[in-house]
Amino acid sequence: MVDVSKIKFDAKKSLYGYRMLYLWQLLLPLIIILFFGAFLIPAILSRILGGPNVTNDGKLGLIIAPISSWILTRLIWPLFRAKRILIGKELLTSNYSDLDKIKLVKEPLHILKLICVSLIFTLMVIIGLGLFIVPGIFLLVIFSMANHMMVENKDISIIAAFKYSYRLTKYYKKDVLIFFLSFIPHFILGFLTLGIYFLFFYPYFEVAYTNLFIDLKNSGIIYNKV
């Protein structure tokens, strides 16, 4: 059985003195997405596509902004998420000396795999939630470790990442579900405070998420060829 309370406590303790470092790695991709996706790219494309009829620039920008922001999010977020996962692992093991050595993923194939795993996972959960909610929750639970698995094992295939996630959670679905449900009040409070509470809460959630992955991995998964 997974001790969710201990997982969360250890995550919270590991962030002492390092919350701002982790928060910066969370804010940086958001700043990039906001600047380029919501402002710069829409402004440039609306000028190009609008041609001489500059009165349409604003309308085109409103159409382009969410599209470009979504595309950038799908491309950039998995890379910074991978870095935060690695930072979280170092914090949880108190290996602070290696924090400065953690860089963004540079291998093109690994980057592509991270993006694909993140996109597939997101789409599966969204589609599942649309199918009477329960399928989405089930997919969220069983494939919740696919991103972490791909971060840690760059040589495995995209399909293998999902298969390993299924193996990790196979006997711990209830515990994983309890873990996610325990954070619902935090997410609600985050939305009620217009995102302000997320600045405090989200680093804790992500490190706890990584700690859950470590705990499940230590439960005895065998890396057979898949």
Q: In this predicted model, what pLDDT tens digit does every residue of 165-216 receive, in sequence order?
A: 999 998 899 999 999 999 999 999 999 999 899 999 999 999 999 999 999 9
Instruction: Output b/e per residue, 13-46; b: 16+ Cβ within 10 A.
Output: ebbeebbeebbebbeebeeebeebbbeebbbebb
> What was the pLDDT predicted at 57?
54
Is 17 in contact with 96 (CB distance < 8 Å)?
A: no
> What was the pLDDT predicted at 143?
95
Instruction: Extract the runs of DSSP E, i.e. beta strands, from the chain.
Output: none
> What was the pLDDT predicted at 56?
53
> What was the pLDDT predicted at 221?
58
What is the rounded distance in angstroms from the CA atom of residue 189 to the CA atom of residue 184? 9
> What was the pLDDT predicted at 136?
86
Q: What is the mean pLDDT of the chain?
A: 88
What is the rounded distance in angstroms from the CA atom of residue 158 to the CA atom of residue 117? 6
Alpha carbon 194 to chain centroid distance?
A: 20
Q: Is the pLDDT of residue 54 over 50?
A: no
Band (50; pLDDT cuts 50, 70, 90): low
Q: Is the pLDDT of residue 73 over 80?
A: yes
Is 116 in contact with 36 (CB distance < 8 Å)?
A: no
Closest by alpha carbon to 86, among 30, 147, 33? 147
What is the rounded distance in angstroms from the CA atom of residue 158 to the CA atom of residue 64? 30
81-122 residue pLDDT tens: 999 999 999 999 887 777 888 889 889 999 999 999 999 999
Percent of the chain with pLDDT over 90: 64
Please give the C-alpha separations between residue 28 and each of 23, 44, 77, 113, in angstroms, as whole numbers. Answer: 9, 22, 10, 22
Band (55; pLDDT cuts 50, 70, 90): very low
Neighbours of 144 (CB within 10 A): 23
pTM of the model: 0.89
What is the rounded distance in angstroms from the CA atom of residue 180 to the CA atom of residue 220? 22
Segment 62-78 shows an average pLDDT of: 90
Q: Is the pLDDT of residue 25 over 80?
A: yes
Closest by alpha carbon to 26, among 70, 112, 88? 88
Is 29 in contact with 76 (CB distance < 8 Å)?
A: yes
